Structure 1
Amino acid sequence: MDPLWTEAGSRSGFTPRGPWIETDVAVDDARISLRLDDVEVASASTADLARGPFEVVAYLSELVGLRPGDVVRTGAPGTTAPLRPGVSVTAEVAGIGALRCPVVRSAHAWEAVRTTRDVAPHADWVEVGTSLIKRYGTASVSEVVAAAGTTPVLADLKTADDAATESGMAFTAGARGATVLALAADATIDRCVEVATEAGGETVLDLVETGPLRRDALLARLPADVVVTAHVGKDAQAGGAGVEAALGPWTRGRSVAVAGGLGLAEVVRLRAAHPDLRVIVGSAITSAPAPGRAAATLSEAIRGAQR
């Protein structure tokens, strides 16, 4: 029996916070279908996703566009309630019992949470990507922090202004590090460093599209504990740019990371040449059929390259 079902379905008086969907669910293998105006738009089963009813309903809610602040109540299968003018949602679930399922918690970056659980045991850090934060806000950072356990989380904010607000939100959400663009004003970068220091966290300076003169000027004055990331963005990667060309003598004596289109071969080559280099790997892990296995393979390869 799923532990989430046991808690929500068996305890009298259980009332979750936030928007919720009330529907019938099966204990073991429930087929859950969400409909908009009587048209099925998403469905899945607890067995298919290997997740409990809470997460399945939250995942489907995300697919159909439910957001925090929406309140949808559906009772027995086939009943509907208004979601917004002209649209209604129906939860049709095979099974027994009743479950009030929060939409807020797992609807935020459900896939990222699942991937984090798989990857965190094999990673030194877990990064919450910029696009994810832009879509879901710093609530996604909190979700990943909770899923990562003891593995620290980096919020890839790419802050360009309003450093105190943005960095502060990341550290309040539980992140242990946050990024700031090297192209930002000196005052913005300095404030990010201050906020991170006050929070006991880390500042990561993103050099994406930053020229050598600006880079060297920053390196000359920033504290040595600021991590500097040589980064080639996705659009530049599509044009054939690679991150290895961005490295050079400037990396000596600094804490340096690299990011941008890195796979197994690039990681092994870079770590063999630069043993202290941090490597930030994205799609090679997150787009893999088994992200946890991909992360484990990369981790083993890095350790092998250092021998």
Structure 2
Amino acid sequence: MIKDEFSVGEALVGEEPELAHIDLAIGRKNSKIGQAFMDSLAQPRQGHTPILAVIRPNLPVKPSTLILPKVTIRSLEDADKIFGPAQSAVAKAVADVVEEGVIPKEEAESLVIVASVFVHPRGKDYSRIYRYNYGATKLAIKRAMEKFPSIDKVLEEKDKATHGVIGFRMNNLKNPPYLEVALDIPDWRRVEGIIRSLPRSDSLIIEAGTPLIKRYGVEVVQKIRQLRPESVILADLKTLDTGNIEARMAGDATANVVACSGLAPVNTMEKFIEECEKVGALSLIDTLNLSDPKTVLGKLTVKPNIVELHRAIDVEEEEEARWGNIEEIRKVCGDDTLIAVAGGIRTKNAKKALDAGADIIVVGRAITGAKDVAGAARAFLQQMGVEEVDQFRVMTDF
């Protein structure tokens, strides 16, 4: 039963090129959907002429259903696919869901359906076009009537799901711990070899280090992206000025995370953090050479997504050079802030860093300088107790 003004359903069924994608809305005739139904019928767009779903000529279905082609109709062949198998499939699906009780029979007369239907121009097999559109329409209607998905389902799946077209999921670093591999080698040929050797893991972050970016520019991020489109890539700019401009540059180069130096003016860091949010990247403040990170971070009116407690390469072996109190930093920046530690990380102390509260361990030469890059990276992941979250996961619709 439709309790709200309208309900929305979506379904993707089949394989290319006959693949079917249905977007539809169901509502009462006197609702906004009813108005949209009449507006679309009265004012069709060129190449997207709407048609009624009919079981056969002169026998439209109930609820009255309007089919809106997603793809521009450019030929009689395109028109035949819409007026033939697609129209018939949508109509049969609507009739069947009424017969099956998904839409109550007593309500069918008072409802209308507006269905946006995709038929690929390269689709040739009428049987597949029919079957896929029939299945997609039934599923979309069922989802609309059941108000699928729930908000809980959306929140559960948003960081797990892979979109079929782009072929990879966007990782927002919501499931630490993570291993960050710092590529500080200013030699693309060596870097490329290392990237190709790294294991493919949801728990891996690839860092375009400062020396690499200084030699090749921020566009080196795109070169890394071509090799690893699914990976989280960090651009270590160590920004000191013009925070918004540099954050925008890295974001445009497809960096997922951008690093600013904690030595920058407070105003610069705040503009940097705000610009990262605008371009959809996570902001990182690097505390390298900061004597009092807690005080500096406390001055920020907007907090970064990540704070990196960083020992410089030149002092990482010194006994007195420590990462600092991780929990104090987290209290200043908030519980959602990720804490990364860098400098002198080896397999023998990686677990200690995590036990101290780190979410990300940053490793450079211990991996990039290893004879077996893949083996070294896996050794760190094993020490971290990382498992592939979706390795045995079976995707289901409900």
Could you say what secondary structure the match of 1:150 adopts? coil
Is the 1:120–1:148 Cα contact (8 Å) retained in structure 2? no
Matches within 5 A, 1:85-124: 109-119=188-198, 121-122=200-201, 123-124=203-204
- Kindly provide the amino acid, as one letter, of the partner of residue 277 in structure 2: T
Which is worse superposed, 175-184 or 120-129?
A: 120-129
1:247, CA displacement in angstroms?
Answer: 4.0
Instruction: Pick from 120, 125, 140 the counterpart of residue 220 of structure 2.
Output: 140
Is the 1:193–1:203 Cα contact (8 Å) retained in structure 2? yes
Percent identity, aligned pairs only, is 24
Is the 1:108–1:143 Cα contact (8 Å) retained in structure 2? no
1:108, CA displacement in angstroms?
Answer: 7.0
In the other structure, the counterpart of 2:356 is: 273
Does residue 201 in structure 1 map to residue 281 in structure 2? yes
Measured on the aligned residues, the alpha-carbon RMSD in Å equals 2.4
Supply the distance in 2 between the matched residues of 1:248 and 1:198 (Cα, whole angstroms). 28
In the other structure, the counterpart of 1:262 is: 345
Supply the distance in 2 between the matched residues of 1:218 and 1:157 (Cα, whole angstroms). 18
Change (3 A) 1:167 1:224: closer
Is the 2:196–2:227 Cα contact (8 Å) retained in structure 1? yes
In the other structure, the counterpart of 1:189 is: 269
TM-score normalized with structure 1 length: 0.58
Supply the distance in 2 between the matched residues of 1:195 and 1:296 (Cα, whole angstroms). 34
Is the 1:108–1:140 Cα contact (8 Å) retained in structure 2? no
In the other structure, the counterpart of 1:232 is: 311
Does residue 292 in structure 1 map to residue 374 in structure 2? yes
Does residue 170 in structure 1 map to residue 250 in structure 2? yes
1:222, CA displacement in angstroms?
Answer: 4.6
Supply the distance in 2 between the matched residues of 1:203 and 1:144 (Cα, whole angstroms). 19
- Residue-by-residue CA offset, 1:187-210 (whole Å, 9 max, x unaligned): 211111121101111110000111
Could you say what secondary structure the match of 1:221 adopts? coil
Is the 2:262–2:296 Cα contact (8 Å) retained in structure 1? no
1:228, CA displacement in angstroms?
Answer: 0.7
In the other structure, the counterpart of 2:291 is: 211
Supply the distance in 2 between the matched residues of 1:209 and 1:137 (Cα, whole angstroms). 24
Supply the distance in 1 between the matched residues of 2:301 and 2:259 (Cα, whole angstroms). 14
1:265, CA displacement in angstroms?
Answer: 1.1
Instruction: Pick from 178, 199, 205 the counterpart of residue 125 of structure 1.
Output: 205
Supply the distance in 2 between the matched residues of 1:177 and 1:191 (Cα, whole angstroms). 15
1:223, CA displacement in angstroms?
Answer: 3.8
1:175, CA displacement in angstroms?
Answer: 0.6
Matches within 5 A, 1:41-52: none
- Kindly provide the amino acid, as one letter, of the partner of residue 177 in structure 1: V
Is the 1:230–1:257 Cα contact (8 Å) retained in structure 2? yes
In the other structure, the counterpart of 2:330 is: 251
1:219, CA displacement in angstroms?
Answer: 3.4
Change (3 A) 1:270 1:294: same
Supply the distance in 1 between the matched residues of 2:349 and 2:310 (Cα, whole angstroms). 14
Change (3 A) 1:209 1:172: same
Supply the distance in 2 between the matched residues of 1:245 and 1:303 (Cα, whole angstroms). 23
Supply the distance in 1 between the matched residues of 2:211 and 2:287 (Cα, whole angstroms). 18
1:242, CA displacement in angstroms?
Answer: 3.7
1:110, CA displacement in angstroms?
Answer: 2.1
TM-score normalized with structure 2 length: 0.46
Change (3 A) 1:186 1:108: same
Specify every segment of 5 or more residues in structure 1 that has no aligned partner in the other structure, as ranges: 1-106
1:304, CA displacement in angstroms?
Answer: 6.7
1:220, CA displacement in angstroms?
Answer: 5.3
- Kindly provide the amino acid, as one letter, of the partner of residue 167 in structure 1: A
* Bigger Cα Rg: 2
Q: What count of residue pairs does the alignment treat as equivalent?
A: 197
Is the 1:119–1:291 Cα contact (8 Å) retained in structure 2? yes
Does residue 160 in structure 1 map to residue 240 in structure 2? yes
Specify every segment of 5 or more residues in structure 2 that has no aligned partner in the other structure, as ranges: 1-185, 388-398
Change (3 A) 1:304 1:150: closer
Supply the distance in 2 between the matched residues of 1:301 and 1:240 (Cα, whole angstroms). 23
Which is worse superposed, 257-266 or 236-245?
A: 236-245
Supply the distance in 2 between the matched residues of 1:250 and 1:171 (Cα, whole angstroms). 26
In the other structure, the counterpart of 1:81 is: none
Is the 1:259–1:281 Cα contact (8 Å) retained in structure 2? yes
